[in-house]
Structure formats: structure tokens, C-alpha cells
Amino acid sequence: MGLPLRATKASCVRGLVAGAVATLVLAALGCQQTDGGQGQAGTRSSPAHSAHATTATSARPPSTTPPHGTAASAPPRTVPSVREFTPTTGPGWRPGSGSRVVADLDGPLADEARTIAAELGLRTASGTPRTGDLSLALDPGQSGGREAYTLTVGGGRARITGPADAGVFYGTRTVKQALRSGGRLPEGVIHDRPGRAQRGLNLDIARKFFSAGWIEARMREMADLKLNQLALHFSDDQGFRIQSTSHPEIVSAQHLTKAQVREIVALGRRLHITVIPEIDSPGHLGAVIRAHPQLQLRNAGGTTFQGSVDISQPAAARIVDQLMREYAPLFPGRWWHLGADEYLALTVKDPQASFPKLVAAAKAKYGPNARVQDLVTGWLNDRARLARQLGKQPKAWNDGFFAGGVVKPDKNIEVEYWTGRLKETARQPLEYLKEGRKVVNLNDSYLYYVLGEPGGFTYPTGERIYESWSPAVLRGSTPVADKSLTGPNRILGARFAVWGDRPEAQTPAQVAQGIRLPLAALAQRVWDPGKPPLSWSDFTRLAERLGV
């Protein structure tokens, strides 16, 4: 995903001391499994690793009995569950007084080594591992993609390998959780990898401001769940929340400084979380309109439409493009979110009659048959073109894509499907998939945490996500039936979304608590494609024990 340069070594251990103390105590106590007496959720064999795994466990205790009648080790208990575990006999691994984390401390895994060492209260070292050590190493030829890893426990040692640093980092998350849940790593081999490439949290800081410290705390929780995206919706009608030099007049009093954003991005780099910016346009630009009222969209009768700019005016595009150019270096990750939802000119009964100025601009730019929707689609395509010029992969909300117009939406924009709650019926997800588009799931029936529960929204529960949602459930509760269209190369993943419609409805602490189990449930469903084998009650007890 076009990762930026790694952070400095000294910054790697910041904020980890408390976690290290807690984990070390649990490891020293040798805590045993107590969550319902079952084995780890979600472990199963896979053809991709059949050459490595002669015996794979299921979510229940393994039925295979090794030679001499000795019970095989059980898979570790983690959230999300490991996908494949081959048990062997032996005592497993737990950190002892002489244990070290061994890696090339001048190499690409230095951050990962120092992070897990701080969490476990161990020393780091380069060189050859010895009995009692946890070692980290890259194996470029290993299968499964850059987020895959193999964790091997035997001979009094534990070893994590992966094709890239992201996978090795996720292996350290498994180590951390296994020690918390069971006091040791079980003897055997874990092959693990995510089911979907995009997994994360969408956070509205425009309508409800969240501090840098609050955001960073959520990122640390996300990393333990192997989530890899944080999307920041920082511009809306109620506020614009990041410092700007090109347009300081639009910035709200409460905002993140660029220095704070750089720290958030740097933490994300260490935790393998890409921070995705979103400047929503051409709707949801109320903060810009307050400083530039001449850009306000009005119909033929002079009625204004909240948050929507008059896209027939070149100045509207100029401001958004200037902001995109300003912020692109601040967010060095792969993606840029263009927004594009709920442009109110298209919610009226007859947009052509209501907005003759937009119609005239559409015809002038795209020909005599062009309509308002074509001008809106052209706006989306123009911003997507700029995003690519800035080195970004563009994303946009599904209700910014229109069918049947003179102008077609750019095929290379990722569709973020939330369904839409406009007056007209939103297009079904199958339409986007049949058009060959890549889709990310933000189903508002399951994955929208809307403060104050306006407009029929209710706070989603982890239980409902865990038991009845999957990446193929893009709208409502029914999955897309054609499985050839719902694989990981078509539905790229999912994010859980927090929206601040009524910002006073919950405190930041209440939001953090309210999204904890839904995020854990989402992490399970996007990492492991199978049905979760643990009951919800067992899963919640495990999540509580792990502190996720």
C-alpha cells in the first residue's frame, strides 16, 4: 500500500509501558483458558498451506492424538482468531527471565521487535536466537501476501516470519494476545493471513471533535485487532478540523494541528495503520460556505441547500483542489476519500427545472444532452484525476455514482458502499459489482454508529455483526447472492463508522466504550472468512480478558 518511511527507533516504545506491565504479569502467572473451556475460534486447514500442515485444528480442542497418547496443544485464543494451527506436543513458549526479542535491529523489523519487547518487558538483541527467545525475521518467499505470517513454537523458542513487516507485526499481536489469554504460546505452527485487505475504522471528527490522544488510543486498540485503516472525515457542515495554510479562514476553533496529524500518521506507520483523509464534496461543505457564502448552492427561487456548493462556479472546485494539494503530503498513505455523497441538488423532484444554472454549465461542458447529474459526475471524475496526480487511489461514497448519464463515473474509484438515505432509492450493490467496480463495505445497517441515533439509526451491536454480517452483506441484511462477485478481489474489506450527527449525545469515553465490541466483531469477520466458531458470550469473555 505504498508505505512511507519508517518511524525513528526512539519513538517505537512510546505509550507502551502500561501494556508491558500488564502482559508481563499475565505471562508470569501462566493464566489458563477459562472462556467456556473451548479452543480458539476460527482455526482451520487451508489448501494454501497444505504442504505445511499435516494436522489442522478446528475451533474446538483438536481431536488428533499425537504418539504416546500425549494431548496435542490447543490453538491460541486471540481476536481475531488465527486461521490455521498445526499442533504438536511440547510445553510451548512463555517469556522467562533471560528471554529476548531477537531481530536485525538495524533492519526493517526493528520497530516490530522493540514494540513487542516493550509490551512483554523483554530485552532486544541482534544475532542468533537461543532457547527462550522470540525471534522475528522476513521470508520474502513466504506465501499469503504482505500481511501473512507464520508463528512456529518448538524447542523452547518462538519464531515469527512473514513476507513483509506488516505480517510479522501481526504475528507479534498474536503472541501478545496468546500470553494474555493462556499464559503461553502453544507448541506448533500457525499460518495466518487476513481474509480482506481493507479493515478499519471511519471516524467523523468534523461534527464531533476528537482529540489527538483519543484517536491515538483507538489506533493502538485497532492494531491489536489487526485492523489497518483509519479514515478521517475532517470536513463537513459543522466544522473543518485540520489546520490549513491555504485556507485558514475555513478552519474551526477546535482542530488538529498539522504537527498532531503527523504524529497520528507516524503512529499509524508503526502500527501498520494507513490514515485516509476525506474532504467530502460537493456536498457537506458547510464550513467552506460559511467563509465563502458566494459559493452556496441556490435553486431558481433562491432557496439554499445546506452544505452544497454551486459546482457551476470554478471557484468551488479551486478551493477543494487547493486543499487536496495542501494535505496530500500530510497523508502519505495510498488512499484519498473524495466523499461525493448527498449532493442536495439531486434530491429534488426535478433537478433540471430547479437548477437551470447547473444545467447550463453541464451542457456547456458535456454537450446538449447533459443534465445536472453529469455535471456532478464530472466533478467527481475531476477530483479523482487530481487524487491520482497526487499519487492517491481515490475512494467515494456509493451515492456519488450515477447510472445512465452522458458522463460515466471513473471506473477506478473504489466504491465505499453505505447504501445512502436520500429521497430517491439508492442503487443496489449488485449494480456496482456488475460494472466491475471494487467495493468496500460500510453497511449502515450494521456498521454505522451515529451519535444520537437520528433518522432511524440505532447503535450497532457487536453481537449482530458477529452473528449475521459478512463482507458480502453490503446493504440491509441479505448478502449478495453471486459469490463470484463477493470475493476479496471485488469486496476489498470493511470499516466500522462513527458519525457525529448529534455530537453532544455521547462523550468521547462513551464512544470509545460503545465501539469496542463492534470493532472486535468486525475484526473477526474481516480477518477470518469462516463462521465464528465461538459463541458470542464466549467471544465477549475472551475480548474482555484480552482487553480489546
Q: Tell me which residues are annotated as active site.
A: 342
The three grid cell numbers given for residue 80, joined into one nine-digit string: 481475531
DSSP string spanning 113-160? HHHHHHHHT-EEE-S---TT-EEEEE-TT-SS-TT-EEEEEETTEEEE
For 181-221, the DSSP string reads HHSSBPSEEEEE--SSSEEEEEEE-SSS---HHHHHHHHHH
* Backbone φ and ψ of 131, nearest 5°: -55, 135
Q: Which amino acid is at 200?
A: G
Give the pairing of strands 304-309 and 296-298. antiparallel
DSSP state letters, 416-467: EE-----SSPPPPHHHHHHTT--EEE--TTTSEEETT-GGG-----HHHHHH
Grid cell listed for 338: 473524495
Distance CA 316, CA 7 (A): 37
What is the separation of C-alpha 95 from the centre of its chain, rounded to a whole number of angstroms?
31
DSSP-derived 3-state class of residue 260: helix
Q: Tell me whether residue 459 is exposed, middle or buried, using C-beta atoms within 10 angstroms of its C-beta: 0 to 12, 13 to 18, 19 or more.
A: middle
Amino acid at 325: R
Residue bearing cell 466483531: 521
User: By CB neighbour count within 10 A (0-12 exposed, 13-18 middle, 19+ buried), where does 408 fall?
Assistant: middle
CA distance 386 to 191: 40
Q: Which of 520, 505, 514, 441 is nearest to 473 (CA)?
A: 441
* Residue that the C-alpha cell 522493540 belongs to: 114
Counts for the chain of helices (H) and strands (E), in that order: 14, 18
Q: How far apart are CA 343 and CA 374, in angstroms?
A: 13
